[in-house]
Each structure stands twice: as C-alpha cells, then as structure tokens.
Amino acid sequence: MRRLTFPARPAWEARLQEAGFTWYAPTPTHPVPYWGEDACYAFTPAQVERLERDAQDLTDMVLETTGAAIESGRLGELGIPAFLHGAVRESWDRDDPTVYLRLDLAYDGRGHARLLEVNAQTPTSLIEAAVSQWHWLEDRLGAGELPAGTTQWNTIHEGLGEQWAYLARERGLSQAHFSAAREVEDIATVTYLRDLALAAGVSGSFLAADEIGTSPNEAYLLDAWSLPIRHLMWLWPFEYAWESRDAAFLATTGTRFIEPLWKTVTGSKGLLALLHERYPDSGLVLPATLTPGALGPNVVRKPLYSREGQNVTLPGEPATPGAYGDLPSIEQAYVELPTFEASDGPRYPVLGVWVAGNEVCGLGIREGRTRVTDNRATFVPHVVLPG
C-alpha cells in the first residue's frame, strides 16, 4: 500500500462535474480540497484480495449481529427509542430489502483490516467512489501515467444497479420516491441512485425531505401533492426523524423505507460493542463496549449516533466539536491509522468498502489531516497495480 502523486489532469474539474460531482473545491467552511486530484493509493492484487475477503466476512458479521440484536431485544442499548422497537422488529421480520452500506476500515497493507464504523443508512461519498475515481483511472491509463493492466477494486456502479434490478425483479418494486435534505451532495447522491433505479425499471420522482407530509387520516407518508408514498429512498437519518414532531408516524406508517427501518440497528455505533461480544476472537473486530472504562484508557469514545467525526475523543485528547455530545457513547479500542507524508503534512487514510445488498463491491478512500476522519477529509482515488 503506497501513496503516489501525479500532476492534475487537463480539464479535471469538468470531468468531475460531468458525473454530477460539484462539491470538490475548498470553501470557507471546508478549507481543503474534498477531491484529491493529485494522488492515489496503490495496492497489490494480493492486498485487495485480502481486503475483499475481510470486508465480506465483516458484512456477514454485521448483518448477523443486527438480527441477533433485534431478536434478543437489545434495541434500547443501541439508543433506539422504545416507540420504534416493534416497527424495527417488523421491518427485520419482513426482510425489508437494503440497497447499500459502507464499512469504514483501518488497513495499512499488512495483516487484516479492522472495522472502525458501519455507515448503514445514509452513506455518502458514493459518486466519487463509483464514478469519479473510475474516470480518474481511465484518464491516467489513457495518458500513459499508469502501467498497462492497472485496475481498481470498483464494481460499485454495477453492484448497485444489480441490487435495484433485484428489487424490481424479486420484490416487485416498480416505483419509489427519492428524498434528501436540501444539500448539494445529498441531492446529487440521491439523483445518482434514482438514475440507477430507473435503469433497472424502478421509476420515481424527487422531493426534499422537508416536503414529506403526514396526516392522521392517511396510512402512508405523503408527497408534496398529498399522494401516498409507498416506497421511500430516504437519505435522511432515522435519528433525525425520530426527534421530529412527526416521529410517531415512523412506527405506524405503511411507507416502506429504503434503507429499511431495521437499519436503525446497523447504523448505531453501539453495534460495534455487540459485534465484539459476538466475535471476541475475530481479528477484524476491535474490542468495544457500552460500559465506560471496561477497556481501560486506550480507547476512542464515540456517541451512539454521530456524523463527520463529531464528538469523538481519542486517547489523551479533547473531544472533537459537534452536535452529539449529549448522547450515550461507546468505547472502542484505539488502533493507529497508517500515516503517509504529503507536501503539506501527514495524511491518515480510512478505507470505505461499499456493499450492494450483502455483497462487497468496491473501495473508496478518505484521507484526513488528523486522526479523526471529519468533513475536511479528502477523497483520494485508488489503483491496483499489476504483478
């Protein structure tokens, strides 16, 4: 595993924009580039084969532990409010289908990957992983800047398309609403997912998350025309929804969510502790606990629900700022991220493995400028070198 550098491609910004990826440049609130045009991480085929095996094993563990948590009544420990427990159980018992999730891993090119977190319900960095880094590879190969035979672990686009086709073919899904917050990245991500769904025969329109309505006289959530939403691809965190004024409808609505309601379990960082209970001897799962102090001082403390590295405490350091500091936390054994030197300081990559349905399908990498991967972390392409 190496970090390689390159000159920028001609017209690289236009290449990103044509994929719908427009949030790549620094901003006042995001002072470093989000897209890493001038670097990539290089792997050997053997390293990627091991990563793929490890990530598939972890995916199976995550789904098994999710089911065990639901069936053994441990939802309260994971921060899920009591009024939702029955609906979560029903969602699992119905086998409500999933399209995707992302596993975030620590890996240095030696030994096994280690699971840091599961991004199960609203994973982003999708367009950059599925499309833009593939374009980067094609362009570099075309310019002769990489050896012939260089590839990428990246069938994300194909895997997601196949999963939508499965929902259409095997689950009878023909129409869905697609929704997100009024944020550029979220809208672009949902638009990309809608395009994949349409190609698979699932049609649907977009509406903003704040346009979704409810009525005590209706069995379903309602769109902007007060028509029933039977299936909702919703890039909106369930933990936001269960704190809203219409939270009670989550437990009673006939609307079926994509991602499904059972993902409240998989999306809780408390699942990391249950994974360690279930697989204590796995080299892939870090020790983690819901009991403060049980693992000693060399731990990372994380709220049960948090995003973009908010309110995370590393050993001997103050907590990062954020909006989740009042939530219960888990403690997870600290593991060093690999460190790579760049011209303006160190980089700490976290590997995001994408899963379509329950099958791993590709890799995206975010490299932070600190050991907590936050919203300043840059997305950097990867390659698999031949030989």
In 3D space, the residue among 153, 207, 152, 197 whose CA is nearest the CA of residue 173 turns out to be 197
| Beta-ladder partners of 345 | 342
Q: Is the pLDDT of residue 51 over 90?
A: yes
Residue 333 is predicted with a pLDDT of 98
Q: Is the pLDDT of residue 359 over 90?
A: yes
Scored b (16 or more CB within 10 A) or e, 140-161 reads: bbeeeebeeebebbbbbbebbb
Between CA 62 and CA 265 the distance in angstroms is 10
Q: Is the pLDDT of residue 363 over 90?
A: yes
Ordered by start, the domain boundaries in the chain are 2-15+36-269+337-384
Taking only the tens place, the pLDDT of each residue in 294-311 is: 999 999 999 999 888 899
Mean pLDDT computed over 102-106: 98
Q: Is the pLDDT of residue 373 over 90?
A: no
Q: Which DSSP string corresponds to 127-167?
A: HIIIIIHHHHHHHHHHTT-S-TT-B-SB-HHHHHHHHHHHH
DSSP-derived 3-state class of residue 228: strand
Residue 330 identity (one-letter amino acid): I
Residue 29 is predicted with a pLDDT of 78
Residue 323 is predicted with a pLDDT of 87
Look-up: residue for tokens 């219409």? Answer: 246
Contact 382, 133 (CB under 8 A): yes
Between CA 316 and CA 314 the distance in angstroms is 6
| pLDDT tier at 317, thresholds 50, 70, 90 | very high
Residue 207 is predicted with a pLDDT of 96
Mean pLDDT computed over 115-124: 95
Residue 126 is predicted with a pLDDT of 97
Contact 72, 28 (CB under 8 A): no
Taking only the tens place, the pLDDT of each residue in 135-156 is: 999 999 999 999 999 999 999 9
Residue 28 is predicted with a pLDDT of 83
Residue 27 is predicted with a pLDDT of 85
Q: What are the Cα distances from residue 86, in Å, to 56, 57, 92, 383, 387?
A: 29, 29, 10, 45, 52
7 secondary structure, DSSP code = P
Residue 376 is predicted with a pLDDT of 78
Q: Which helix (H) or strand (E) holds 271?
A: helix 271-278
In 3D space, the residue among 21, 5, 251 whose CA is nearest the CA of residue 135 turns out to be 21
Other Cβ atoms within 10 Å of 201 Cβ, number: 14
Q: What is the mean pLDDT of the chain?
A: 96
Strands (DSSP E) along the chain, which ranges?
2-5, 39-43, 100-106, 114-119, 177-180, 206-208, 221-222, 228-229, 231-235, 256-258, 288-289, 299-303, 329-333, 340-342, 345-356, 359-368, 378-380, 382-384
| pLDDT tier at 339, thresholds 50, 70, 90 | very high
| pLDDT tier at 2, thresholds 50, 70, 90 | very high
